[in-house]
Chains A and B, each alone.
Chain A
Amino acid sequence: MRPMNEGSLSGEIYEEYAVLSVDDLSRLCAVDRTYIVELVEEGVLEAIEVRAPEWRFPGAALRRARTALRLQRDLEINLPGVALALELMEELERLRRELRMGRQ
């Protein structure tokens, strides 16, 4: 077992350097790569360059894919439902932010 208190660790901001392939995402989310492809087809994930011979995703795709996976598994909603939920959640987040900024 590893010691419970360790020296100082440092890491970079993942979203700023990571570029992920379909295989990376499938490994990181522990799902089949067809699931990642489905997320792209549903518009939940967007490749950096759609026409590239192999899709590459920004680091932020990891969090999005994991959220989609959790929603689908925990709430038993299908992919179009997940996509809709994510879009509505983003819209809600944007409105909350505007409210906080006290936009007049």
Chain B
Amino acid sequence: MEFKDYYKVMGVARDATEAQIKQAYRKLARKYHPDVSKEKDAEARFKEVGEAYEVLKSAEKRAAYDQLGKGPRPGEDFRPPPDWNSGFEFSGAGPGGNADYSDFFESLFGGAGGGRRSRRDPHDARGEDHHAKVLLDLEATLQGGSRTLTLRIPEIDEQGRLVSKERVLNVQVPKGILPGQTIRLAGQGSSGGAQGAAGDLYIEVEFQPHPLYRVDGRDLYLDLPVAPWEAALGASVKTPTPSGTVDLKIPAGSRQGTKLRLKSRGIPASTAGDFYVVLQIALAPATDDKAKSAYVALSEAIPFNPRAALGV
């Protein structure tokens, strides 16, 4: 097990005051809160910071932890001495609620047993609902279909400890689901008491960024590069869409950023979203003499000042 340097996690000195620790925690919690943060590993960091604060905010736990700090260095293999916490009394229940703590934490301060999860009325209690979040590919909502999802489900084991289990589910993704929406799987939460119904599983969906398409509500956007002459003269160009490659007609006189709409080719629904193609004019390089003379001929043939609007 790895020794965790909670001071480093919080970015505070070992002699930081209670107020400094609280301040550091508040700042980090806002930065990494999974609902707020766009950082990639926000959830893991948020948990880590929460765990560090759980220890450092309590005078007893902090004192006990400091005793250990004289031992192994961070990252080294760590095993708590058998009687390490004798003489310290931890006030308050163990870590509360829904956090799951590192092995390091649990070896020192025990699991997250007790708390509000211990109610397990034998009879007609309804099982708890579970909530999970998954990243889906865009194709899942465009075509619907089955996806294998791996969820981390917190469970209470026989010793009353909170452990996190992996659960693999095969889920039919409803066609047309949007980011932020939820698939509810009835009866797939915790089992209830003898007479009680099982809880439900709520799976909140987000999309992985797609290599070609951007999503705005039900509409999809594609940046389509076109050559200057295709934009100027009009052309029919091959264009990828979710339902396959199409020949798209570029109207003559199109400009950079021109939006072309393919109706109802976005995310499906009773009123399906649209598919927008945004033209991006790509410049052909003038690398050889032939290309250079073609550009020269163009500049002579067309009196064009792209900076006219700037008054120069």
Contact = CB atoms under 8 A, between A and B. Distances in A.
A53 interface: no
Nearest to B170: A8
Nearest to B173: A10
A101 B50 CA distance: 36
Contact of B29 (A8, A74, A85): A74
B202 interface: yes
A18 B168 CA distance: 26
A16 B29 CA distance: 33
B76 interface: no
Interface string A73-104: 11110000000010001000000010011101
A4 B129 CA distance: 18
B192 interface: no
Nearest to B128: A30
A76 B30 CA distance: 10
A104 B216 contact: no
Contacts of A70: 33-35
B211 interface: no
Size category of the binding interface on chain A: 35 or more
A29 B35 CA distance: 16
A4 B169 CA distance: 8
A75 B180 CA distance: 22
Size category of the binding interface on chain B: 35 or more
A89 B30 CA distance: 13
Nearest to B276: A101
B171 A9 contact: yes
Given A4-B167, A75-B33, A12 B172 contact: no
A9 to B, nearest CB: 5
B214 A101 contact: yes
A28 B167 CA distance: 22
Q: Residue among B35, B169, B202 with the most chain A CB within 10 A? A: B35
B26 A75 contact: yes
Contact of A102 (B35, B186, B257): B257
Interface in B1-54: 26, 29-30, 33-36, 46, 50
A6 interface: yes
Interface in B164-198: 166-172, 174, 176-177, 180-186, 188, 191
Given A11-B185, A100-B214, A75 B170 contact: no
B204 interface: yes
A9 B216 contact: no
A6 B183 contact: no
Interface string B189-221: 001000000000011100000000010100001
Complex A-B, nearest 4 residue pairs according to Cβ-Cβ distance, in ascending order: A10-B172, A14-B182, A8-B170, A14-B184
Interface of B: 26, 29-30, 33-36, 46, 50, 97, 129, 131, 146, 166-172, 174, 176-177, 180-186, 188, 191, 202-204, 214, 216, 221, 223, 257, 278
Interface of A: 2, 4-16, 18, 28, 59-60, 62-63, 66-67, 70-71, 73-76, 85, 89, 97, 100-102, 104
9 contacts: A4-B166, A6-B169, A9-B172, A9-B188, A11-B171, A13-B183, A67-B35, A71-B36, A102-B223
Given A11-B185, A13-B177, 18 more contacts: A4-B167, A5-B168, A6-B169, A6-B170, A9-B170, A10-B174, A11-B171, A13-B176, A15-B181, A62-B182, A63-B204, A71-B35, A73-B97, A75-B33, A76-B26, A85-B36, A100-B216, A102-B278
